Amino acid sequence: MQICEATRAAGLARLAAFAPRMGKHYATGRNFDLGPERHKDVSGLSPYLRRRLVLEEEVAEAALAAHGINGAEKFLQEVLWRGYFKGWLEHRPGIWTSYRDGLLRDLQSLERDRSLRRAVGLAEAGQTGIACFDAWARELVETGYLHNHARMWFASIWIFTLRLPWRLGADFFYRYLLDGDPASNTLGWRWVAGLHTRGKFYEAQAWNIAKFTGQRFAPRDSDLAVVTEGMEASEPDGLPPVTPLRLPVAPDMSAPSLLLLTEEDCSLEEFKPERLDLRGAVALAASHLRSPGVVSGKVAGFEAEALRDGAARLGITCEISEAGGAGDLAAWAARVGARQIVTGYVPCGPLRDWLDAASPALAAEGIALCEWRRGWDQAVWPHATAGFFKVKKAMPAILTQRPML
């Protein structure tokens, strides 16, 4: 799939072009991966939604206007899945911490184990000898995109057929996906492995791959593992309990402020930041925080362009600064005389970790970190405490509320 420039205008153009296909076409064709440049029944909006260049509520409004809630049901459910995963992880932030720390252990094992290092290298290079898997690995690296069904097949083969550590696979995706999101990526891999919904895992099967790739690939049954159980035994304590959602600190509209623009929300104009006593602004590049490994230049480039577009729409001039040392944020605020830093809500993930690490330096300078949380998240996240069914059941009410700011 050809992803255009990382601007709101490009995202809205893609939204308008796909709106006529959000009904029957999407419902009947969404599971077919017909290959690069042929993904006509999926929207390609995810890189824009990831950075909120286009908003979930805008996409939902377009689907409802074109097809109604019944006609666009499948598409609307997929829009809600992203919010569901984000909310689920916000309720269980320890799952992110477990992934992050477990990945470091897996990377250390990779350094020590030559055979594992070779196997992972072949998988990432698309040289396993499993034709479909190898093609998907190359497509991911070359384009920054994979069809959602291909992501499930790929993860299943990585975990159950190649028997590689699932976190290393999730890290591979996260380093290359333009729409890479800490919640959707981490929980998607956990779902395939049988760790998200206990007792349920995803098994890649030859007939399913052949059917939904339009016979582009025809693996033999013997090419793929027969899966009888997931990886639940690797987490014998099960899932952690649900915790209350973190409450953001609201900005003081009269306090001297530094505006922080990140890829978590590139449409801050919706919050009318001009009402603040604004002393300066920083656009924060954070793609490199995704992994200890090398993150794709395509990902970093898309983020940088999205930040420039977000700043331009705010009518502000600010250089893109890389998230570096934990004291940088306090230093930037102090330099312009700001007593608070205001940004879009930053959920669980590497950027949240970076902000948490910066907290002591901010506290020492008496600088508050304030966030705007969107109405869409406030409407969806309280339902994201268990399986997706609770969100699905609440979908009519969520859409009726038309949550905005």
pLDDT at 25: 96
> 393 Cβ partners below 8 Å, 6+ apart?
383
Q: How many residues does the chain have?
A: 405
pLDDT at 405: 46
271 confidence band (pLDDT: 50, 70, 90): very high
**Nearest alpha-carbon partner for 213 in 222, 221, 205:** 205
**Nearest alpha-carbon partner for 371 in 395, 351, 388, 394:** 351
Q: How much is the average pLDDT of 221-241?
A: 95
Examine the pLDDT at 197 and tell me if it is beyond 70. yes
- Domain ranges for the chain: 8-90+379-401, 99-234, 256-372
Examine the pLDDT at 282 and tell me if it is beyond 50. yes
d(CA 60, CA 31): 20
Q: Give domain 256-372's CATH number out of 3.90.1150.10, 3.30.230.70, 3.40.50.620, 3.20.20.140.
A: 3.40.50.620
Judge if 99-234 and 256-372 fold alike in CATH terms.
Answer: no
Q: Is the dihedral of CA 19, 21, 26, 29 positive or negative?
A: negative
Please provide residue 224's backbone torsions phi and psi, each rounded to the nearest 5 degrees.
-120, 150
What are the respective helix, strand and coil percentages of the chain, to the nearest 5? 55, 5, 35
- Span 154-166, pLDDT tens digits: 999 999 999 999 9
Examine the pLDDT at 195 and tell me if it is beyond 80. yes
- Span 162-179, pLDDT tens digits: 999 999 999 999 999 999
- For tokens 């978590």, the residue is 264
pTM beyond 0.85: the answer is yes
SS3 annotation, 14-45? HHHHHHHHCCHHHHHHCCCCCCCCCCCCCCCC
d(CA 12, CA 8): 6
Q: How much is the average pLDDT of 191-217?
A: 96
403 confidence band (pLDDT: 50, 70, 90): low
- Span 6-44, pLDDT tens digits: 999 999 999 999 999 999 999 999 999 999 989 999 999
Return the minimum-mean-pLDDT range out of 117-126, 284-293, 394-403. 394-403
d(CA 66, CA 19): 7
Angle of helix 148-156 relative to helix 131-143, nearest 10 degrees, comes to: 130
**Percent of the chain topping pLDDT 70:** 98
Please provide residue 228's backbone torsions phi and psi, each rounded to the nearest 5 degrees.
-110, -15
Q: How much is the average pLDDT of 301-330?
A: 95
Mean pLDDT, the chain, rounded, equals: 96
Q: Using only C-alpha atoms, what is the Rg of the chain?
A: 21
pLDDT at 318: 87
Please provide residue 340's backbone torsions phi and psi, each rounded to the nearest 5 degrees.
-145, 150
Q: How much is the average pLDDT of 99-113?
A: 98
CATH class of the structural domain 99-234: mainly alpha
What is the CA 367 to chain-centroid distance, rounded? Answer: 29
Contact 230, 199 (CB under 8 A): yes
Q: How much is the average pLDDT of 195-220?
A: 96
